[in-house]
Copies of this chain bind each other. A is one copy, B any other.
Amino acid sequence: MTPKEPRVWLERLDSRLAAQLQFLIEADRLKCVLRGCRIADGSRRENSAEHSWHLALFAIVLCEWATDTVDLSRVIQMLVLHDIIEIECGDSPVHDKDLSASKAAREAVAAEKLFRILPADQRVRFHDLWEEFEEAQSPDARFAKALNRLQPVLLNHLVGGGTWLDYDVDEEQERSVTRNIAAGSAALWEAAELVFAEAVQNGWLKPRL
């Protein structure tokens, strides 16, 4: 009932469009990559596709709070693309030390493999956008990264601990992995600090030793 090959119709299309559609079909697999975080009602773990949608919405709603002037279109494109390499190498939770240590190398290989499906011009453009996000040096990437760190903070708080409890995290560890929020937006960092304080008070995040 689900014979996914051959896709004869793709072979009858313009080769550029066929490559693009092939990429979009591959990308569907991001819906099956599970993250450490739960969704806000706590019922299940979040997948990387819906996480990326949520971040795009964060960008649209919160762009006025970026410290630097940002190009909203580029910020959203980075966020839509930023996790797509996880199709090849899975999610690496920030509090998982082993996975985090090998993350950059694994993701570089994955990016090479995945973006190769695209026509050459888009392969380069998407790879550059993904790298810019990872490096978090440009104003657009700094803000995108800030949102990517803020969203799991809110989800962990909403579910009463989430990955903070899973990984036995204290507030200093949490601050060290979310410092990117401050680099992208002072106002959002202030919000995160309020969340951390309440989470410590509720026993969801361990106090500083």
Query: What 1/0 flags go to A30-65 for Cβ under 8 Å of B?
Result: 111000000111110011011011101110111001
Q: Could you tell me the distance between the alpha carbons of A30 and B84 in the complex, rounded to whole angstroms?
A: 20
Q: Is B160 in contact with A13, judged by CB distance below 8 angstroms? A: no
Q: Is B60 in contact with A81, judged by CB distance below 8 angstroms? A: yes
Q: Is B160 in contact with A1, judged by CB distance below 8 angstroms? A: yes
Q: Could you say which residues of chain B place their CB within 8 Å of the CB of A80? A: 53, 56-57, 60, 76
Size class of the A contact interface (CB-based, 8 Å) = 35 or more
In the complex formed, the residue of B with least CB distance to A9 is B194
CB within 8 Å for A39 and B28 given contacts A194-B9, A194-B13: yes
Q: Could you tell me the distance between the alpha carbons of A125 and B189 in the complex, rounded to whole angstroms?
A: 26
In the complex formed, the residue of B with least CB distance to A16 is B64
CB within 8 Å for A197 and B72 given contacts A53-B52, A54-B28, A56-B56: no
A:118-170 near B, CB below 8 Å: 118, 122, 154-155, 157-161
A:1-40 near B, CB below 8 Å: 1-4, 8-9, 12-14, 17, 20-21, 23-25, 27-32, 39-40
- Decide if A190 is an interface residue (CB 8 Å cutoff): yes
A-B contact pairs, 12 of them (CB 8 A): A1-B160, A8-B198, A9-B191, A13-B194, A17-B191, A25-B40, A27-B54, A28-B40, A30-B50, A31-B54, A32-B43, A52-B53
Q: Which 7 A-B pairs have the closest CB atoms?
A: A73-B73, A53-B53, A28-B40, A9-B194, A49-B50, A2-B160, A1-B160
* Residue of A21, A40, A60, A61 with most partner-chain B CB within 10 A: A61
In the complex formed, the residue of B with least CB distance to A77 is B60
Contact of A72 among B9, B53, B73 (CB under 8 A): B73
- Decide if A101 is an interface residue (CB 8 Å cutoff): no
Q: Could you tell me the distance between the alpha carbons of A58 and B25 in the complex, rounded to whole angstroms?
A: 10
Contact of A77 among B3, B8, B76 (CB under 8 A): B76
Q: Could you tell me the distance between the alpha carbons of A77 and B9 in the complex, rounded to whole angstroms?
A: 30
